[in-house]
Each structure stands twice: as C-alpha cells, then as structure tokens.
Amino acid sequence: MISFFNEHGKSNLVEASDWPKYEAKKVVCYDERDMARLLQFADDDEADVIEFFLGVGFRNGEGTHGEWLDFDYKNREIKTYSKEVQYGWQVKDSEERIIGISDRLAEGLHARQLRHPAMD
C-alpha cells in the first residue's frame, strides 16, 4: 500500500511518532551445559520431548500436533502441516514443510514408538 502512495507522490502521510510501537522479543538460548543438566534430570519421556524439539526446531503448536503418521523413519523426515479437521489447528503462515532429522533423533523417536505402541 505504501508503494502505491509513493508512486502517486503521496509520502510521509503518517509521522514516525504515530507508527505502532514494536518491542523486539528477547530470545534466551540455553547453552549445551544447561541442556545437558536438564537432560540429566529428565525421565525418558521428558528427554524424548526435549530431544524432539531440539532436533526439529518446530514451534510449540507444530510439535504438539505431531503424530506418528507424520514421522518417516526410513527417510529420516518429519512433516508439519495444518490439522484443522482433527484439532482445529493450522501451521503459521501456511508453512507446511518436511524437516530432515538426524539419525539419533530418528532412532530416539522409533524407540519411543516401540515403548508406547498405543500412542499412534
């Protein structure tokens, strides 16, 4: 829209002081020692969740709505996509994608699936 106004000689229509305020989020990253300590005290199920999120980089909703059907053990991939019918949930900005995962994470997910076969 701004480029439309600029093309027609209309610029500086809104003073910078009237622009919406934006505060950048402060991102706190855990270092390797913090993660090792966290995993040291985690039980198997907690460690699975932590390793999963570290390994895929999904947003909370993407990880929360992941299902075994989304996991491709053979190709070491996991897919995230909207699940509006099942859960009324959709991925942010229609960012349906397939993420490659490490052998270690694939093995961990496979082991979890074997430990919890009824959770499919």
In a domain, 38, yes or no: no
CATH at 82: 1.10.443.10
In a domain, 65, yes or no: yes
12 confidence band (pLDDT: 50, 70, 90): low
Strand residue runs (E) in 34-110:
71-72, 77-80, 97-100
In a domain, 70, yes or no: yes
By the 8 A CB rule, do 31 and 54 touch?
no
Amino acid at 94: S
In a domain, 16, yes or no: no
pTM, rounded to two decimals: 0.68
pLDDT > 70? residue 8: no
The sheet carrying 71-72 orders its strands as 71-72, 77-80, 97-100
In a domain, 57, yes or no: yes
3 or 41, greater pLDDT: 41
- The residue segments making up the domain with residue 100 are 43-120
Into how many domains does the chain fold?
1
In a domain, 88, yes or no: yes
26 confidence band (pLDDT: 50, 70, 90): confident
